[in-house]
Chains A and B, each alone.
Chain A
Amino acid sequence: MSIKVYVPLDSGSVALGADDVAAAIAAKASKAGSDVKIVRNGSFGMYWLEPMVEVETPRGRVAYGPVSTDDIDALFEADFLTGGPHKLYLGRTQDIPFLKSQSRLTFQRCGIVDPVSLDDYRANDGLTGLENALKMTDEEIVKAVTDSGLRGRGGAGFPTGIKWNTVREASADQKYIVCNADEGDSGTFADRMIMEGEPFVLIEGMIIAGLATGATKGYVYTRSEYPTAIDVMNEAIKVARAAGVLGDNVLGSGKAFDIEVRMGAGAYVCGEETSLLNSMEGKRGVVRAKPPLPALEGFLGRPTVVNNVISLCSVPVILEKGAEYYRDYGMGRSRGTIPIQIAGNVKHSGLYEVGFGLTLGEIVEQIGGGTATGRPVKAVQVGGPLGAYFPKELFDTPFDYEEFAKRDGLIGHAGVVVFDDTVDMMKQARFAMEFCAIESCGKCTPCRIGSIRGTEVVDKLERGEQPELQIELLRDLCETMKFGSLCALGGFTPYPVLSALTHFPDDFKPRALDIAAE
Chain B
Amino acid sequence: MPDNVHNKQEFDNMLEREACMSETTEDQNVRVAAICDQLITLEGPLLPILHEVQEEFGYIPDGALQTIAKKLNLSRAEVHGVASFYHDFREEKAGKHVIKICRAEACQAMGADALGDQIRRHLKVDWSQTTADRKITLEPVFCLGLCACAPAAMIDGKVVGRVSADRILQKVGS
A15 touches B160 (CB 8 A): yes
Question: Which residues of A from 11 to 68 have beta carbons under 8 Å from B?
Answer: 11-12, 14-16, 45, 47-48, 50
Please name all residues of chain A whose beta carbon is closer than 8 Å to the beta carbon of B108 when the two chains form the complex: 344, 428, 431
B154 touches A225 (CB 8 A): yes
B148 touches A14 (CB 8 A): no
Please name all residues of chain A whose beta carbon is closer than 8 Å to the beta carbon of B81 when the two chains form the complex: 284
The closest CB in chain B to the CB of A419 belongs to B109
Contact of A282 among B45, B109, B148, B150 (CB under 8 A): B45
Bitwise, A92-136 to B at CB < 8 A (1) or not (0) is: 000000000000000000000000000000000000000000000
B142 touches A268 (CB 8 A): yes
For chain B, the count of residues having a C-beta within 8 Å of the partner chain is: 41
Asked if B119 is at the interface of the complex by the 8 Å CB criterion, the answer is no
Distance in angstroms from B110 CB to nearest chain A CB is 6
Asked if B143 is at the interface of the complex by the 8 Å CB criterion, the answer is yes
Contact of B46 among A282, A419, A428 (CB under 8 A): A282
B106 touches A225 (CB 8 A): no
With A266-B86, A285-B85, A285-B86 in contact, do A11 and B146 touch (Cβ < 8 Å)?
A: yes
Asked if B159 is at the interface of the complex by the 8 Å CB criterion, the answer is yes
Distance in angstroms from A352 CB to nearest chain B CB is 11
Please name all residues of chain B whose beta carbon is closer than 8 Å to the beta carbon of A266 when the two chains form the complex: 86-88, 141
Please name all residues of chain B whose beta carbon is closer than 8 Å to the beta carbon of A480 when the two chains form the complex: none
Cα of A270 to Cα of B34 in the assembled complex, Å: 28
Interface-located stretch among B8-16, B22-30, B47-55: B47-55
Distance in angstroms from B89 CB to nearest chain A CB is 6
Cα of A186 to Cα of B86 in the assembled complex, Å: 19
A282 touches B44 (CB 8 A): yes
Cα of A462 to Cα of B159 in the assembled complex, Å: 35
Contact of B105 among A12, A48, A431 (CB under 8 A): A431
Asked if A329 is at the interface of the complex by the 8 Å CB criterion, the answer is no
Distance in angstroms from B41 CB to nearest chain A CB is 12
Say which size band chain A's interface belongs to. Answer: 35 or more
Cα of A226 to Cα of B159 in the assembled complex, Å: 10
Bitwise, B96-118 to A at CB < 8 A (1) or not (0) is: 00000000111111100000000
B48 touches A417 (CB 8 A): no
Distance in angstroms from B11 CB to nearest chain A CB is 33
Distance in angstroms from A190 CB to nearest chain B CB is 9
B87 touches A16 (CB 8 A): no
Asked if B20 is at the interface of the complex by the 8 Å CB criterion, the answer is no
With A266-B88, A282-B47 in contact, do A417 and B105 touch (Cβ < 8 Å)?
A: yes
Asked if A150 is at the interface of the complex by the 8 Å CB criterion, the answer is no
B86 touches A14 (CB 8 A): no
Distance in angstroms from B23 CB to nearest chain A CB is 22
Distance in angstroms from A45 CB to nearest chain B CB is 8
Asked if A482 is at the interface of the complex by the 8 Å CB criterion, the answer is no
Asked if B65 is at the interface of the complex by the 8 Å CB criterion, the answer is no
Cα of A285 to Cα of B46 in the assembled complex, Å: 12
B47 touches A189 (CB 8 A): no
Bitwise, B48-88 to A at CB < 8 A (1) or not (0) is: 10110000000000000000000010000000011001111
Apart from A186-B105, A280-B44, 14 more pairs, CB < 8 Å: A11-B159, A15-B149, A185-B143, A186-B104, A225-B145, A265-B86, A266-B88, A267-B86, A267-B87, A300-B43, A372-B110, A381-B105, A417-B109, A417-B147
Pairs of residues from A and B, 3 with the lowest C-beta to C-beta distance, nearest first: A282-B46, A15-B161, A186-B104
Q: List 14 A-B contacts (CB under 8 A).
A: A11-B159, A12-B161, A184-B142, A185-B143, A186-B104, A186-B107, A187-B143, A224-B88, A262-B47, A266-B87, A281-B44, A282-B45, A299-B44, A435-B142
